[in-house]
Structure 1
Amino acid sequence: MEVTVPMEGKIVAIKVNVGDKVSEDDEIAVMEAMKMEMPVVSPADGVVKEIKVKVGDKVAAEQSLMVIE
């Protein structure tokens, strides 16, 4: 399952690593948009398989940040 963001912004924190188990609604990253920090939460239970961004990256709306299986 791809984890995406609803709007463009900047990644300010990544709170998980590849291999971490996550539960639905766990905070997995933080992005900044419109001068506000917003949590990015896991859409489902699973294991982080891939992280596609790093702190400081600018992201577009609906861009994939991670893969959770």
Structure 2
Amino acid sequence: MPEIRVKSEIAGSVWKIVKQPGEAVEAEETLLILESMKMEIPVAAPKAGVLAALHVAEGEAVEEEQLVAVIRA
């Protein structure tokens, strides 16, 4: 199965984790929500698959282009 690396598009902090490793995800389904400049920005799965790993935790700061999740398609 190919792995899809999901990266943060912006710097901010992880406000809420929506999906957990092992769960199936659909294309464009929200995996987690970042907070940046008082705005909530969803991070979505680019393709359907299974969430293999999360590389962040709620409350953690993330940088732009940081790896946040891996999906097995």
Q: What TM-score, normalized by structure 1, do the two folds share?
A: 0.96
1:6 equivalent among 3, 9, 12: 9
Q: After TM superposition, where is structure 1 displaced by more than 3 Å over at least 4 residues in a row? A: none
Could you tell me which residue of structure 2 aligns to residue 28 of structure 1? Answer: 31
RMSD: 0.6
Per-residue displacement from partner, 1:21-60 (whole Å, max 9, x unpaired)?
A: 0011001100001111111111111101111100000000
Structure 1: gaps spanning 5 or more residues: none
Distance, in Å, in 2 between the alignment partners of 1:57 and 1:15 is 15
Structure 2: gaps spanning 5 or more residues: none
Q: What TM-score, normalized by structure 2, do the two folds share?
A: 0.91
